[in-house]
Amino acid sequence: MAGTTLLDGGFTAPVFQSQAAFRLVMDAMAQPGRIVDLGHAVQPPAPLEPAAAAFLATLADYDTLVWFEDSGADTAASWLTFHTGAAVTRDPSMASYAVLSQNSPVSSWRNFAMGSLSYPDRSATLLLPVESLRDGTPLTVRGPGIETVAVISPRGLPDGFTETMAINVARFPQGFDLLMTCGSELLALPRTTRLVET
C-alpha cells in the first residue's frame, strides 16, 4: 500500500508515532528474538516494508546515512530522504543503516562499519527482510536481554547466516546489529546475541 506520491506515507503524528515505534524497537533490542509489530503508521514505496520504514522514519535523519542493497530502490530512497532528511549513500562502509534485500549475500556484510575498539558504537545497523519471522527453522538464541534461551523461527535466511552471526559475536564489542523484518514486524539480534541451531 504505497503512498501515491513521495509526499505521502510518512508519520501523520510524528512526535507520538515515532515515540511509540522507538519504544517497540528498544524493547526488541533489549529482548533479542522478541517480535514487535510497528504497525502501518507509514506506507513506504517498495522495496521498503512497513517495519523497516517505521524504524528509519523514527531514527534516521541528516546525521545518518542509509544504504540500499536493492539497486532499484531510487523511489524508496527519495521517499526516505523527503520524510527524514537522511541522505542515501552508495558506500556501504559509510552507512548507519543498511536496508538489505532478501537473501542478501552475507559475504558482503563485512563491508559495513563495525566500529573500532575505542568506539564500537560507530557501527552499522542492518535491516534484513525475511519471508517469515515465525514459521522457519527454529534457532535458539542466548545472550543479554534473554533470561535463559529464546527461540526464533525466521524463514528465508541468506546462506551462511548463522556462521556470519557467529563471527559477528566473536568480534564483540565491535560488530553490526541486525534487525530482521517481515511486513510490519521486526526482531532484533544485537551483536551480543549468540545463535545455536537446534
Q: What residue ranges bind another protein (CB under 8 A)?
A: 14-16, 18-20, 22-23, 25-26, 29-31, 58-61, 63-64, 96, 116-121, 123, 125, 144-147, 172-173, 177, 190-192
Give the nearest distance from C-beta 121 to another protein in angstroms: 4
Please give the backbone phi and psi of residue 149, each rounded to the nearest 5 degrees, phi first. Answer: -135, 155
- Strands 177-182 vs 150-152: parallel, antiparallel or unpaired: unpaired
Q: SS in 3 state form for 127-171?
A: EEECCECCCCCCEEEECCCCCCCEEECCECCCCCHHHHHHHHHHC
- Smallest gap from Cβ 32 to another protein, in A, equals 8
| Cell numbers at 93, concatenated | 562502509
Residue 46 or 196 having the CB closest to another protein: 196
Whichever of 75 and 194 has its CB closer to another protein, that residue is: 194
The minimum distance between CB 140 and another protein, in angstroms, equals 15
Report, in Å, the least distance between residue 84 CB and another protein: 9
Q: Which residues contact 117 (CB under 8 A, 6 or more apart)?
A: 173, 174
The alpha carbons of the chain give a radius of gyration, in whole angstroms, of: 16
Tell me the three cell numbers of residue 113: 562499519
Least gap, CB of 27 to another protein (angstroms) = 8
Nearer to another protein, 156 or 173 (CB): 173
- Tell me whether residue 119 or residue 132 sits nearer to another protein (CB atom): 119
Q: What's the CA angle centered on 94, arms 39 and 122, to 5 degrees?
A: 80
Nearer to another protein, 100 or 150 (CB): 150
